[in-house]
Amino acid sequence: MDIAIIGLPQSGKTTIFNALTAGNSTSTGAGGAGPMQVGSSK
């Protein structure tokens, strides 16, 4: 199953991604497209 997290800039998408995947991704702090982050969850 593939899931995408989309939303407005500065709305907590990276925080949700890190919580779901136990990751440590950082956000750029600037609007616009950044690198795609891929993670897995059990």
Q: Which amino acid is at 27?
A: S
Give pLDDT, residue 31.
62
- CA dist 34 → 9, 17, 22, 26, 27 (Å): 11, 14, 20, 11, 8
| pLDDT tens figures, 1-42 | 788 888 898 888 889 888 988 877 776 666 666 777 777 766
- CA dist 10 → 1, 26, 38, 39, 41 (Å): 26, 12, 19, 20, 23
Give pLDDT, residue 38.
78
Give pLDDT, residue 1.
79
Query: What's this model's pTM, rounded to 2 decimal places?
Result: 0.57
Backbone angles phi, psi at 21, to 5 degrees: -110, 5
Give pLDDT, residue 28.
67
* Residue indicated by tokens 């995408």: 4
